[in-house]
Structure 1
Amino acid sequence: MKIAYSPCPNDTFVFHAWAHGLIPDAPKLEVTYADIDVTNNLATKPNDLDILKISYAALPWVLSEYALLPCGGALGRGCGPLVLTKDEIKGASVLSGRKVAVPSERSTAYLLFRLWAAQNIPGGVGEIIVMPFHEIMPAVRDGIIDAGLVIHEARFTYQQYNLNLLQDLGSWWEEDTNLPIPLGAIIARRSLDLSAITKWIRSSVEYAWANPKDSQEYILCHAQEMSKDVAQAHINLYVNEFTKNLGEEGYEAIFSLLSRAADEGLVPKFDLNALRL
């Protein structure tokens, strides 16, 4: 079975057991490691992948072929994307007409940014540039761009680049909706046995929690020079009860994000019932 997910610690932690043949009766996995912008685009084109990790924001484009699985993804509180600048500035209006880098045009981070910017930046920002997420902070530091929208472990490391936090979009979303933030989704082809895949992913999550040391070497091997402490902080933040089961609160957060985005014309309108198995 072919799967694509990122080399980030939360994904390698979740899928370690399955990828290493530790889940009874689960088929062997052939893993492709790819940045979220790559998987968001892969899911919309002909490919031979059975399972992918994508942004929740990309779901409206892929639901005819793929189903959202109720486990394995990233959704939570206090884990949202950040808007960073080189200089310490106050007020979102300073970004009016400026150059901003984002990790993917169909990322949840960018969707949250657009919803926030519509309320807070008169006239909107200037140029939007898509960059791999690990290149964004150096570009802000070096003055190549005016601001950067960052995700993942950047929450723990942006101070190392002498950058300043302009806005925590997760905090903005939680205050606005009182709901967790839907970030990364796991999808699988509708033609497959979705209940079995869900079971195998949940078993992989449970194995990871029960045997956290087993996955350390695998995680750090793919963590792009991340320290062990930062990798663990990343896992602690992004792997939580929603990773095992979205539940009603998780689905409500997803419905809220995507219905609001559809109403604003930021994603195609679609049948929200297609989000459930």
Structure 2
Amino acid sequence: MATASWTRHHRAVLACWQDDYAGAAGLLEQACAAFRDGGPLDAAVECAVKLAVVHAYGGDAERAALLCREAEEVTGTHGESWLRGLALFAAALLARRSGDPRRAAAPARQAVRLMRPFQDWWDIAMCVEVIAWSSAGDPRRAARLLGVLHLLWESIGGTLSAAPFMREEHRRFEESVRAALSAADFARAFRSGAEATVDQALACVLDESAPVSGERAAGRGAPLTRREWQVADLVAEGLTNKQIAARLVIARRTAENHVERVLGKLGFTSRTQLAVWVRTRT
């Protein structure tokens, strides 16, 4: 059942990429139902969040909003940061599609903060896209954010200027920003984003006054959520990511994300360091 459900999920993502929102919605509804009946909770939530994105673009705003609220409640209860970030991205898209660009920026920024420790640059780039669209009233900042988007896509080896289903709006936005600035001003602002470090770029995205220090320096000693403590304990026991996923009844990718987030919070670079740290506190 799980294999068939993930197949539907992957087909739905492809359909969304091809602007077939009705087809994507049908496939994700089936996958969500199957995962809710017997699959891992995080898989059901991931499908529900992507279904919210599909409905936001497909026109069913009420259904999209309901799915976003449900996902935020579940992820809040279980301390799932990455999935909560995806839910906030969906909420940001919904606000944007509903004609409220300023309200879209806040959840998108919150999503970036949650996804950053996972280095999920693809989803972060999509959040930055929404934030950039919300800055149309400040063309120099908008041009700099277009440069940040270029930096992020390049960092993951992508050649896209935006996710396929966002590309047309990206094109219109970039044209409007170029029209509002001289060629030299646009190039200068774009270059300031494209040639920044990732920390500097995200500081711009998050409206921080100074570049943010690396996750390793900032994270040492940071408190862990209940779920992150569970994962840390299992790493200390010597379990692999696959075994952690089985023990906690979550998807392997979610387990991997949790491990990476815990390492980032504590400033560690290896599972051995984490295991030693856990044992000194038990």
TM-score exceeds 0.5:
no
Greater C-alpha radius of gyration: 2
TM-score normalized with structure 1 length: 0.28
More helix by share: 2
TM-score normalized with structure 2 length: 0.28
More strand by share: 1
